Amino acid sequence: MTLTLTADLIVAILLVFTIYYASKLSRRLNALRADKAALQVLVQNLTQASQNAEAGIRGLKAAAEETGRDLHRKLQDARSLHDDLAYMIDRGGGIADRMETSLRSRRDEPKAEAPRLRPVEPLRAGEAEPRRGPKPPTNFIQEMAARLAPNNSAAPSRAERDLLRALAGRR
């Protein structure tokens, strides 16, 4: 064997290894190119998801601000209602105290004999019915309201009327 033949044989073996590695490298490059396309799609999807998330965050911030404003308005309304109720409770306590004082004084008064009623004569033809005094209250609440009214120089306030109406509804 000659030296040229040996050199040709070594070059041929090296060429076979080179072809083998070139084909292997070609397959890997093709896989990398396919992965690059998938990676580009993934990056585009990620960008779109990021934009959607930012839009959602802006929407949530707007909704939170609106809800905060609504809660603030409701809180102000609740405070106003609290003040009104505190005033009504205070006024109701005063009325209840006056009613209690009136009831105690009424219980402590000595019982007088009931006035004797005279018999009523039948009406004659053409005669008008005799005039009577104001009709007495029909229940306890109305009686107390009537008893307290002379103590008040002005007409009962709205809160007092509401309280009396509420008390009448509970009976």
Greater model confidence, 163 or 117: 163
Q: Is residue 117 part of a domain?
A: no
Give Cβ neighbours of residue 160 (< 8 Å, ≥ 6 apart). Answer: 91, 95
Written as six digits, the tokens of 86 are 């505190």
Q: Is residue 127 part of a domain?
A: no
How confident is the model over 39-53, as a mean pLDDT? 93
Written as six digits, the tokens of 171 are 């009976």
What whole-number distance in Å separates Cα of residue 135 and Cα of residue 38?
96
Confidence of residue 74 (pLDDT cuts 50, 70, 90): very high
Q: Is residue 131 part of a domain?
A: no
What whole-number distance in Å separates Cα of residue 161 and Cα of residue 95?
11
pLDDT reported for residue 125: 62
pLDDT reported for residue 131: 52
- Number of domains within the chain: 1
Q: Which domain holds residue 33?
A: 3-105+139-170
Buried b (16+ CB within 10 A) or exposed e, 18-56: eeeeeeeeeeeeeeeeeeeeeeeeeeeeeeeeeeeeeee
Q: Is residue 163 part of a domain?
A: yes
Q: Is residue 128 part of a domain?
A: no
Return mean pLDDT, the chain.
80
What whole-number distance in Å separates Cα of residue 142 and Cα of residue 147?
9
Give 90-132 pLDDT, tens digit per residue: 888 888 888 888 888 887 776 655 556 566 566 566 555 555 5
Percentage of the chain surpassing pLDDT 70?
A: 70
Give Cβ neighbours of residue 47 (< 8 Å, ≥ 6 apart). Answer: none
- Least reliable range by pLDDT among 12-16, 45-49, 137-141: 137-141
Q: Is residue 75 part of a domain?
A: yes
pLDDT reported for residue 113: 59
